[in-house]
Structure 1
Amino acid sequence: MAKPITICVNGYIEVNRVPERAVLYLAVIHKGSEQTTASSNVVQTSKNVQELLETYAPRLPSGEATSDAAITHWSMANMSTSSYPDPSDRKPVFEATTTFTVKFRDFETLGTVASKLSVMPNVSIKSVKWMLTDTTIASLASECRISAAHDALEKARDYAKAFGYQDVQPCEISDTTYGLPAPGSASVMRARKRKLGPAHELQILAFHPEEVSMSSSVTVRFNIV
């Protein structure tokens, strides 16, 4: 009796979605000839950053962000200090630093806040990443798995028909890879001027978000029917 014919194929899908959140990473750094000066400058600048962020992060009594808060969450790392000799004269240089992570719901506010931070002394914007919400990720994961399985099924049916068979039936499924959304990087799209007062203008940055991609791959073995 002839051995039953089986078909083993890989199914793959990749989907892209418009980001729902932006995460801004920034550092507060000061270097000086005295450790106390470096530390005090970082402390004061960090307070200024916190005050700016709080104006866009209204909270409920529970501490959670309100539903219309432009900033949904922010955090600050502990301040660290270090020292090293100046290459030119070997005198000690003291450095104090801390970092902030800020999650935005509103991308226009991201541009406004990033612009204000960019002109603050001792502040350095490191990067902006685009993200999806946890709810969207969970829904997208299910969609990816189903679509990857459908891709495998269509491939198997094509192979079966090529050899004169009508259909296939799955007999073994292996979830090979599952790609969580990788945060997309941000690029500055343009700058526009905003009046802050009679003698002041601020260049407001506008960020162009990149789509967030997610993928799934599955290996399925089918019997010919």
Structure 2
Amino acid sequence: MSDLIVTVRGTSESRIAPERATVRVAAETDGGDRAAVIADVHRAVEPLRASLADLRARGAVETWSNPRVSIWAERPWNDAGAQLEPVHHASLALTAVFADLEAVSGWLDDVSAGPHVRVDGIDWHLTPTTARRLERETAAAAVSDAVERATAYASAIGRTKLEPLDVADAGLLPVTPEPAAERAALKSVMMDAAGSPGFAVTPADVVVTAAVDARFRAR
């Protein structure tokens, strides 16, 4: 009996509660006087800076960043087709990584009550150490799934021995791809809280997926 080559795709998915939350907020102001607009945006963002510095000192925030202010101007047109005086805009964004996920809702409630403040979203994720460990475990589980599939195929046609020939990330072997197949990946769940009435946010699980292609000789 000649050898038979079996090619399969193994997949795996893991879910885990997030360990960190990256929160993005911004202050925006506009008006006819450029200097006043810049001063307003700095006043609007100062309470955010102070609260983040306090949270970091207490260990609730791991890191936070405060990029430079963005400033631009435009000259709008009125209904009569006349161009009006320039309107100046200023925006200043902040990003904070929360280690205490229970502190996120309260902080967003506090800062969003201030004038000119916009909440851009929340990204739930893992620490790098946990992410690497979970990616390795999920990839190994995908390989095990491939072995189980190949064993089932071989058994169905009376072959009892399998010899592994190749294993690779999905798509790297010449196989027919599945529409939803993915290479090993860590997915962070995004949440846009800007339109929420209040911020009773609930962390969404982080999903880690892996897919591998494997080729075996069945005897």
TM-score (norm. length: structure 2):
0.86
Change (3 A) 1:114 1:69: same
Equivalence for 2:104? 110
Structure 1 distance, partners of 2:86, 2:64, is 33
Equivalent residue pairs, number? 202
How far the C-alpha of 1:106 sits from its partner, in A, is 1.3
Query: Among 182, 185, 191, which residue is 2:187 paired with?
Result: 182
Amino acid at match of 1:141: E
Identify if the C-alpha distance between structure 1 residues 15 and 87 changes in structure 2 by more than 3 Å, giving closer, same or farther: farther
1 or 2, which has the higher strand percentage?
1
Q: TM-score, normalised by structure 1?
A: 0.84
**Match 1:157 to one of 135, 151, 159:** 151
Q: What's the RMSD between the two structures over aligned residues?
A: 1.9
Name 1:45's counterpart in structure 2: 44
Q: Distance in 2 between matches of 1:85 and 1:204?
A: 35
* Whole-angstrom CA distance in 2 between matches of 1:46 and 1:170: 59
Amino acid at match of 2:88: F
Residue pair 1:160, 1:166 contacting (<8 A) in 2 also: yes
Q: Pairwise mapping of residues 9-88 of structure 1 onto structure 2 (< 5 A)?
A: 9-58=8-57, 69-88=59-78
Task: Name the CA shift for 1:123/1:28 in 2 (closer, same or farther; >3 Å).
Answer: same
SS of match in other structure, 1:207? coil
The question of whether the paired residues in 2 share the 8 Å contact of 1:108 and 1:206 is answered with no
- Residue 33 of structure 1 and its aligned partner are, at CA, apart by 0.7
- Aligned to 1:6, the other structure's residue is in SS state strand
- Cα drift, residue 116 of structure 1: 0.8
Residues 101-154 of structure 1: per-residue CA shift (max 9 Å, x gap): 111111221111101110111111111111111011110111011101001000
Answer whether contact 1:27 1:97 (CA < 8 A) is retained: yes
8 Å Cα contact 1:186-1:207 kept in structure 2: no
What is the distance in 2 between the residues matched to 1:26 and 1:166? 59
Give the CA deviation at 1:204. Answer: 6.6
Show structure 2 runs of 5+ residues with no match.
171-181
Identity %: 24
Counterpart AA for 1:109: A
Distance 1:111 1:169 in 2: 54
Is the Cα contact below 8 Å between 1:107 and 1:207 reproduced in 2? no
Whether the aligned pair in 2 keeps the contact of 1:112 and 1:204 (CA below 8 Å) is: no
Q: CA deviation at 1:87?
A: 3.5
